[in-house]
Amino acid sequence: MTTHPDLVPAARRLADLVAAVPDDALGRPTPCERYTVGDLLDHIDGAALAFRAAAQKQPLPGAASGDAANLPSDWRSRIPHDVMAAAEAWSDADAWTGMTAAGGVDLPGEVAGVVALDELVVHGWDLAKATGQPAGYEGSELEAVYGMVQHFRASGVEGLFGPLVEIPEEAPLLDRILGVAGRDPGWQAPR
């Protein structure tokens, strides 16, 4: 029997980060250059909904948006709920089998699950850094994320990541993931 990564710890971490976003932070920049904090929150929620549907083999059309104007008034409670529901959907072994789709892209379930985990880890880091919250994440799940980001970087999928940031091999695994995903682990919000 194949053991798949557990998305719940990363989802719980992201849910806590979302719930603690300060009211005045929505317009702040993030390490993901295309997004403000508000835009990132909308993207996180859309991705959570898309990856929950992917786990259930009922893919949603289109890709997750990233526009703060779409945030509902209850975003601080709704997004954590949606993030946890997505992670729990991936707790079902059937989610990891067969084909599914997310963001309009057909993927094997085992790949979609790791992409969902990547969304939780990397965007959790983005949100933490942008809002001044502790940004660390550790867990055995990081090995799967590292392999996936390396694979997608090597395959040259356009628009998936920012430019590669060179990180030494002896650096922590999360820093190496961030570098492959086009993030500088030393990113600081502009003053």
* CATH architecture of the domain formed by 8-138: Up-down Bundle (1.20)
- Answer whether 116's CB lies under 8 Å from 7's CB: yes
pLDDT in tens, 128-145: 999 999 988 888 899 999
The values of phi and psi at residue 122, to 5°, are -70, -45
Residue 84 has pLDDT above 60, yes or no: yes
Q: Is the pTM of this model over 0.75?
A: yes
Q: What is the C-alpha R_g of the chain?
A: 15
Please report, for the chain, how many H helices and E strands are present, in that order.
6, 2
Q: How far apart are CA 184 and CA 41, in angstroms?
A: 20
Domain layout of the chain by residue ranges? 8-138
Q: How far apart are CA 157 and CA 184, in angstroms?
A: 20
